[in-house]
Structure 1
Amino acid sequence: MTSTAMVILGATLTGLGIYDRIGAYAGMGAALPITGFANSMVSPALEFKREGFILGVSAKMFQIAGPVIVYGSIAAFIVSYLRVFVFK
């Protein structure tokens, strides 16, 4: 529940243009990485929204955060495979 609230807070602050000012002043992304992740998802979407919903927002939303999600999913698969089949 708290993680969800932090992601929503980070996305909202990014959308309102407040997150960048907080980040420049206090290094907010370094202190709370989950809000930095939300910022990395919302910033490219806002930057490319003038190109339309499909080609702009949807295509560019995972520009920065996409590799993190892919590598996290692959690492989770490998670790779970090792746990189930190797370390019975």
Structure 2
Amino acid sequence: MITKENYKDAIKPYQPKPKYVRNAIKAFVIGGLICVIGQGLTVLYMHWFDFTAKEAGNPTITTLILIAAILTGFGVYDKLGQFAGAGSAVPVTGFANSITSAALEHRSEGIVLGVATNMFKLAGSVIVFGTVAAYIVGIIRYTVQTVLGS
């Protein structure tokens, strides 16, 4: 008789062993490729439009968001995420994927009550915690500069 206590022991021989090294390598390679694409876009904007490195940052991020959203819409980014794991969660593209996925999932409920309402459910917490963390780091930096500057 299987109980809650011995259930984990009973299923352990049937569970596949996690492949940590292989998964880490895939995440590293795919995440690195996404970053290489971003760097390539930055160089492209600097060369074609004579932007400085700082000026090329915003169009690069916007292009990466657009590419990730389009790939999510066609279902390609989800397959990439299944293959690469954490490597596909590079901040900008992973964030775009989470917003686009939620929007697509709820599109049948309408634009306002479906897409707009549910689009930021997952991404909302990232925005809130990112804002709070930036505020806290700003306060710490200001305090350190004030104390060391005097």
Same fold (TM > 0.5): yes
Counterpart AA for 1:64: L
Matched, 1:69 2:133: no
SS at match of 1:65: helix
Structure 1 residue 60, shift from structure 2 partner: 0.5
* Counterpart among 13, 20, 31 of residue 71 in structure 2: 13
The residue type equivalent to 2:87 in the other structure is: A
Moved over 6 A (4+): none
Question: Which deviates more, 29-38 or 48-57?
Answer: 29-38
Structure 2 residue aligned with 1:43, among 79, 85, 101?
Answer: 101
Q: Give the structure 1 partner of residue 44 of structure 2.
A: none
Higher normalized contact order (CA 8 Å, seq sep 6+, divided by chain length): 1
TM-score by length of 1: 0.84
| Contact 2:65/2:93 (8 A) holds in 1 | yes
User: Which residue identity lines up with residue 72 of structure 2 in the other structure?
Assistant: T
Q: Which runs of 5+ in 2 are unaligned?
A: 1-58
* Cα pair 1:7 1:38 within 8 Å, conserved: yes
1:4 to 62, 70, 77: 62
Match of 1:30 in 2: 87
**When the two structures are aligned, how many residues end up with a matched partner?**
86
Does the CA contact (< 8 Å) of 2:89 and 2:95 recur in 1?
Answer: no
Residues 2-27 of structure 1: CA distance to partner in whole angstroms, max 9, x if unpaired? 222111111110012221122223x1
Aligned to 2:122, the other structure's residue is in SS state coil
TM-score, length-scaled by structure 2: 0.52
User: Which residue of 105, 108, 118 maps to 1:60?
Assistant: 118
Larger Rg: 2
What per-residue deviation string (whole Å, max 9, x for no partner) do you get for residues 39-87 of structure 1?
A: 1111011000111111110111011111011000011111112222x12
Percent identical:
44
Q: What is the root-mean-square deviation of aligned Cα atoms in Å? A: 1.7
